Amino acid sequence: MHHRVLVGIPALFLFLTPGLRDAAFARDPTGRIEFNRDVRPILSENCYSCHGPDKSQRKAKLRLDERATATKHGAIVPGSPDDSDLVLRILSEDDDVMPPRSSHKSLSDDQKKTLQAWISQGAEYQDHWAYVIPTRPSIPEVRREAWVRNPVDAFLLSSLESRGIEPSPEAAKDRLIRRLSLDLIGLPPTSEEVSAFQIDTDPRAYERLVDRLLDSPHYGERMAVGWLDLARFTDTVGYHGDQGQRVFPYRDYVIDSFNRNKPFDVFATEQLAGDLLPDPTPEQLVATGFNRLNMMTREGGAQPEEYLAKYAADRVRTVGLTFLGSTLGCAECHDHKFDPFTQRDFYALSAFFADVKQWGVYNDYDYTPNPELKGWSNDHPFPPEIEVESRYLKDRRDRLMDELRQVASAHADPVALDAWFDQARSTLEAETSGWVPLDSESTSPEAGTLLPDGSLLVRTVAKSDPTSRANKAADHRFKIDRAVGWISRIRVELLPHEDHRGRITRDGSEVATVSLSASVKSQNGKERSPLKFYLADADLKSPRYFNGDEVPGVLAGWRTSSAHSTETHTAVWCLDPPVLLQQGESLEVAIKSPQAGCVRVSMTPFGLPDDGHLLRGPDAEERAAFASSDVVREPGQDDRLRRLFHLSTAADLGVWQQLRELGRGIFACRDGRAFSMVTQATTPSETRVLPRGDWQNRTGEIVAPEVPRFLPHESVAADRRLTRLDLAHWIASPENPLTARVFMNRLWKQVFGVGISQVMEDVGGQGEWPVHPELLDWLAVEFRESGWDVKRMVKLLVTSSAYRQDSRGRPDLKELDPGNRWVSFLSPRRLEAEFVRDNALAVAGLLSLDVGGPSSFPYQPAGYYANLQFPDRTYVASDGELQYRRGVYSHWQRTFLHPMLANFDAPAREECTPARNVANTPQQALTLLNDPTFVEAARSLAAGLLENQTSMTDEDRLGRLFLKVLARPIEEAERLSLVAFLAERREFYRQNPEAADAILKIGQAPVPKDVDPAEVAAWATTCRVVLNLHETITRY
């Protein structure tokens, strides 16, 4: 066969992937080829890398993404495929065939025919669909008008009717309510809700159900999960030691914004530029955490400029994926190979964020240029931060305080109460603060000087003096032996003194570290027992972090703040439990602190205050109650004193232990306040194009903030530097063709299981032509013109007839539409990882429905963090209701993502993630069977089935089980199989009681005491089977 040689082109590299899509005429009755739909995907996937927008990689000076250059030298001859070298080369059987044999690729006959037909029809090019401003198309007319509930149905039905396909019938009501509940709030309906919906014959029942779910506070939690993937929200920083960061208020902001139906343009603006708004509110500042959620490092030796470049690039990628649906990361080192984004566009977008105050390396090792961070510990937070009110913490504190006061109002033994009352009153008479100083045992002049206020002034010595007792041990001992009675708390004060230049530290130290131990000794000096502490706090301290959050208090050790070294510092330790000092015994306290200059130690018989402020002594009302006689006390004072007695003594150990746990919870709420990373604007740094993305190469062009030039935008004055606020306004402007389309495509996937354009992260050349382009444009315009009303659009989708279809597959369409892209039925979808867990806890009756707040720590395999260092981490699972919080609140450790989340395809969120992969693996079944969360859920579910239901048969209970878990009746085959399985398991556990005990010991939830352990274990194992069903973790 003869081949024409292209003028000036030595070779034409056309790598066409076979099987990319069928020939257009197989789907279009008219046989008309559309460039965007049928041809561009082939060229983009296989040709643009060498013959596309990237001029640095372009071969033979040929561009196939532009008609003028593609037709200039005969590669494509419009109307004449036989004269087009593209066609000649793909049909060749010689060595110059394209794709070349060395590529191990070949074209199918249909793909060759598609290219030939397109050229024959004139080789018309089109602007890329996603870069054209959407206009509202006309709503199509359909024959089956009664099926159409809103315009969504009209577009879909028109497509089905053009192919002679009927939509599926409506799903049963039990399936509809479970579907809606899982899709809108991420939780299954209760059996009662299912029954109520089934018997509701009101024509508006479905819409009322939708409205109720949209108004639920759990709607925001469900919607937040996808957004947190985009925002790369985690509890840790990712790089190197993957330390914790304080940012949970941002997650609360996202949840609250969806619940309040904040307009999406406002939502986007607050996150990108909330700090630049006039008089920004704390909420708007918290929203800017979006810009700060890139990975960060503290690694010693890391180069700050390198990491600042990494952080800047991450922000561009995140904005591109989140709002533009574009892979801007492909333009970091060179012009984009498939889309019109240039490398200059990438860095011009980066320049918008050049004012974000951030450090490249968050530490000072004496050789990293971070003077503002000098002296910070490896566990310090990542500024800038602000302190804000947390509604969750405030509500939890108030709830725990009410519970504490109720527990503390328990009956008190009169003799013990009177004895403590007398001790407490005498203490207040001697020391109105309620704190009694201890005597120092360090009486030698070498150790220090006792001062009249009971403090010990440690002498200053030369650090080189090896004989100094102060330098050798830095131990200071204090004791009290003149008091008999209860001791509940110990206080340590570091006092500034003129001998130490008015500072609390000596020998030039900037901070003091203090550790404390205590014991009770008998008169002959024998130690009765070392004392333990359960809570400690200080007024000023350098924070420490654990499990990704700040450790409340200073239990293991106190490190003072260098910024306040001329002020008195105070720390208090609470005894676990309070100790009753007998006649002849003494309390001895040892303080270890190499830097402390002047120390005073005190004790008090008053326990943890009921408001959790453990630094204070009795307040004015409490002191008044002690000053009053029995006959003149005001109403409520006796109750107040009884509460104080229980909080201060272990006379009733059971009551005190309950109060200890409640006190810990109250203290952890930190007065309802929390810190959150925010964006703070500073003087913009210089932004250059980095050749090949090399942060060390500063020869590139200096660029100012600018949106991609090829996209529509308003012109601005050349002398005005654009800001992040300008970027936010452009993102949500009518001129931007991408934002509304990208959001609605993402929302469509969330509701229908797959996007109208399937590739969530790319609506560009490597993406997919929308299956229903007119529908996507209509939705985008409707969303924009509705005022960016998210709830309105969600309701529009879920109230459509298309959404209400049955979810059973269509055998008649298996070959024609294997992916159900025409929506002839509703595609089932697997629940996201968080909702798999939520579902199990919910049906088991364990799930905590509190909204907002810090992350919780689900059960996790021991040693999972063994390789996590700088610092080492010990994982401690949350206690009580915190263990059963929703998955959206699970602790997110970037480098060691919780195994359950990882097994069910949750992303580590090291990068912006527009769509999660969905895999089916054996690990998922093993997780559902063996993860303590799911075993405990199954056991609690079993306990609920057995509770107060002695008259029920096994068949009855199995029926209830299916209604609770699957919201449907059990089928006969299922019933017969599970009855046999239950009987076999029941016999096994009766023969192996230790195996039953092992099941019952998993988790924290209580086990019924009046039920046979073998019976509970058998039912728990049966429930494990049902929780492991594919149907259980799937929305149908």
Label each residue of 1017-1036 as H, E or C.
HHHHHHHHHHHCCCCCCEEC
User: How confident is the model over 86-92, as a mean pLDDT?
Assistant: 82
Tokens of 139: 């709503």
CB-based contact 272:291 (threshold 8 Å): yes
- Give the model confidence (pLDDT) of 650-665 as tens digits: 999 999 999 999 999 9
CB-based contact 71:163 (threshold 8 Å): no
Q: How far apart are CA 250 and CA 311, in angstroms?
A: 19
Q: In this predicted structure, what is the pLDDT of residue 619? A: 85
User: How confident is the model over 999-1006, as a mean pLDDT?
Assistant: 95
> Left, alpha or beta for 990 (phi > 0: left; psi -120 to 50: alpha)?
alpha
User: How confident is the model over 472-488, as a mean pLDDT?
Assistant: 76
Local confidence band at 372 (pLDDT 50, 70, 90 cut-offs)? low
Q: How far apart are CA 698 and CA 428, in angstroms?
A: 70
SS3 601: strand
Q: In this predicted structure, what is the pLDDT of residue 542? A: 61
H/E stretch holding 123 reads none
Q: How far apart are CA 237 and CA 362, in angstroms?
A: 11
Q: What is the dihedral of CA 349, 351, 354, 355, to 10 degrees?
A: -90
Q: How far is CA 943 from the centre of its chain?
A: 32
CB-based contact 43:124 (threshold 8 Å): no
Task: Point out the least confidently predicted range of 37-46, 183-192, 265-274, 536-545.
Answer: 536-545
pTM for the model stands at: 0.89
Nearest CA among 436, 432, 417 for reference residue 627: 432
User: Which phi and psi (to 5°) does residue 699 adopt?
Assistant: -90, -5
Q: In this predicted structure, what is the pLDDT of residue 9? A: 29
Percent of the chain with pLDDT over 90: 64
DSSP string, 708-720: -TTS------TTS
- Give the model confidence (pLDDT) of 679-694 as tens digits: 999 999 999 999 999 9
- Give the model confidence (pLDDT) of 784-826 as tens digits: 999 999 999 999 999 999 999 999 999 999 999 999 999 999 9
Q: In this predicted structure, what is the pLDDT of residue 686? A: 97
Q: Which residues contact 179 (CB under 8 A, 6 or more apart)?
A: 171, 807, 826, 1035, 1036
User: How confident is the model over 381-403, as a mean pLDDT?
Assistant: 93
DSSP state for residue 805 in the 8-state scheme: B
CB-based contact 540:505 (threshold 8 Å): no
User: How confident is the model over 557-585, as a mean pLDDT?
Assistant: 85
- Give the model confidence (pLDDT) of 160-182 as tens digits: 999 999 999 999 999 999 999 99
Tell me: pLDDT of 444 over 70. Answer: no
Task: Point out the least confidently predicted range of 551-555, 610-614, 803-807, 866-870.
Answer: 551-555
Residue 722: C-alpha distances to residues 346, 556, 687, 714, 725 (Å)? 15, 50, 13, 12, 8
Residues in a beta bridge with 1034: 830
- Give the model confidence (pLDDT) of 334-364 as tens digits: 999 999 999 999 999 999 999 999 999 987 5
Token pair 């590139």 in the structure block, residue: 700
Q: Which residues contact 883 (CB under 8 A, 6 or more apart)?
A: 856, 857, 858, 859, 877, 1004
CB atoms within 10 A of CB 278: 4
Residue 464 or 81, more confident: 81
Label each residue of 332-393 as H, E or C.
CCCCCCCCCCCHHHHHHHHHCCCCECCCCCCCCCCCCCCHHHCCCCCCCCCCCEEEEECHHH
Tell me: pLDDT of 3 over 70. Answer: no
Quote the radius of gyration of the chain (alpha carbons, Å). Answer: 35
Q: In this predicted structure, what is the pLDDT of residue 111? A: 79
* Report for 559-573, 735-749, 858-872: range of highest mean pLDDT: 735-749
H/E stretch holding 855 reads none
Domains of the chain, by residue range, sit at 24-126, 145-218+775-826, 220-387+681-724, 388-434+618-660, 440-604, 930-1035
Q: How far apart are CA 729 and CA 725, in angstroms?
A: 6
Q: How far apart are CA 210 and CA 828, in angstroms?
A: 19
Tokens of 1006: 């209580």
DSSP string, 991-1026: H-HHHHHHHHTSSSS---TTS-HHHHHHHHHHHHHH
Q: In this predicted structure, what is the pLDDT of residue 364? A: 52
Local confidence band at 460 (pLDDT 50, 70, 90 cut-offs)? low
Q: In this predicted structure, what is the pLDDT of residue 483? A: 65
Token pair 């203090």 in the structure block, residue: 514
User: How confident is the model over 856-875, as a mean pLDDT?
Assistant: 91
CATH number of 440-604: 2.60.120
Local confidence band at 369 (pLDDT 50, 70, 90 cut-offs)? very low
Q: In this predicted structure, what is the pLDDT of residue 115? A: 82
Q: How far apart are CA 795 and CA 180, in angstroms?
A: 11
CB-based burial, 711-744: b 16+ in 10 Å, e otherwise? bbeeeeeeeeebbbbbbbbbbbeeebbbbbbbbb
Q: In this predicted structure, what is the pLDDT of residue 96? A: 78
Q: Which residues contact 882 (CB under 8 A, 6 or more apart)?
A: 848, 856, 857
Averaged confidence pLDDT in the chain = 88
Q: How far apart are CA 1027 and CA 421, in angstroms?
A: 55
Q: How far apart are CA 941 and CA 845, in angstroms?
A: 7
Distance separating the N- and C-terminal Cα atoms of the chain: 56
- Give the model confidence (pLDDT) of 506-536 as tens digits: 877 778 888 888 999 887 778 777 899 998 8
Amino acid at position 382, single letter = F
Q: In this predicted structure, what is the pLDDT of residue 498? A: 84
Amino acid at position 970, single letter = I
Tell me: pLDDT of 916 over 80. Answer: yes
Tell me: pLDDT of 615 over 60. Answer: yes
Is omega for the bond preceding 871 within 30 degrees of 0, making it cis? yes
User: How confident is the model over 588-604, as a mean pLDDT?
Assistant: 88
Q: How far apart are CA 394 and CA 337, in angstroms?
A: 52
Task: Point out the least confidently predicted range of 512-526, 576-590, 965-979.
Answer: 512-526
Q: In this predicted structure, what is the pLDDT of residue 27? A: 52
- Give the model confidence (pLDDT) of 111-134 as tens digits: 778 888 888 888 888 899 999 999
- Give the model confidence (pLDDT) of 761-786 as tens digits: 999 999 999 999 999 999 999 999 99
